[in-house]
């Protein structure tokens, strides 16, 4: 017989159980770290989107303030109607 055949099966099972538990704990730790990192990046993206929306609103307000004294070029102040002019 081989020298490895004298290993106690209960000890081998216990070693394997400990190994698997340790491996699962390491995996759980890594997944938690990745999850925390992803959540942090999502929060940062949300903040950046909020800042972008605020910048857009500020630009709209500035454009509205600059354009308010004069009428909008897309809407004429007095519509021309040449069909009623005498010939």
Q: What is the DSSP string of 29-76?
A: HHHHHHHHHHHHHHHHHHHHHHHHHHHHHHHHHHHHHHHSSS--TTS-
Residue 72 is assigned to a structural domain of this protein:
no
Residue 3 has pLDDT above 60, yes or no: no
The more confidently predicted of residues 87 and 61 is: 61
Residue 5 is assigned to a structural domain of this protein:
no
User: Domain range holding 37?
Assistant: 32-61
Cα–Cα distance for residue pair 44/68, rounded to 1 Å: 36
Residue 46 is assigned to a structural domain of this protein:
yes
In terms of pTM, does the model score above 0.85? no
Domain count, the chain: 1
pLDDT tens for 50-85 read 999 999 999 999 998 887 655 555 544 544 555 544
| pLDDT for residue 85 | 47
| pLDDT for residue 4 | 53
């Amino acid at each position: 017989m081989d020298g490895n055949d004298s290993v106690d099966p209960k000890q081998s099972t216990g070693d394997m159980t400990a190994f698997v538990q340790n491996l699962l704990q390491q995996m759980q730790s890594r997944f938690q770290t990745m999850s925390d990192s992803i959540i942090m990046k999502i929060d940062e993206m949300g903040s950046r989107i909020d800042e972008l929306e605020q910048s857009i609103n500020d630009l709209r307000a500035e454009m509205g303030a600059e354009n308010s004294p004069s009428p909008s070029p897309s809407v004429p102040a007095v519509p021309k109607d040449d069909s009623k002019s005498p010939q």
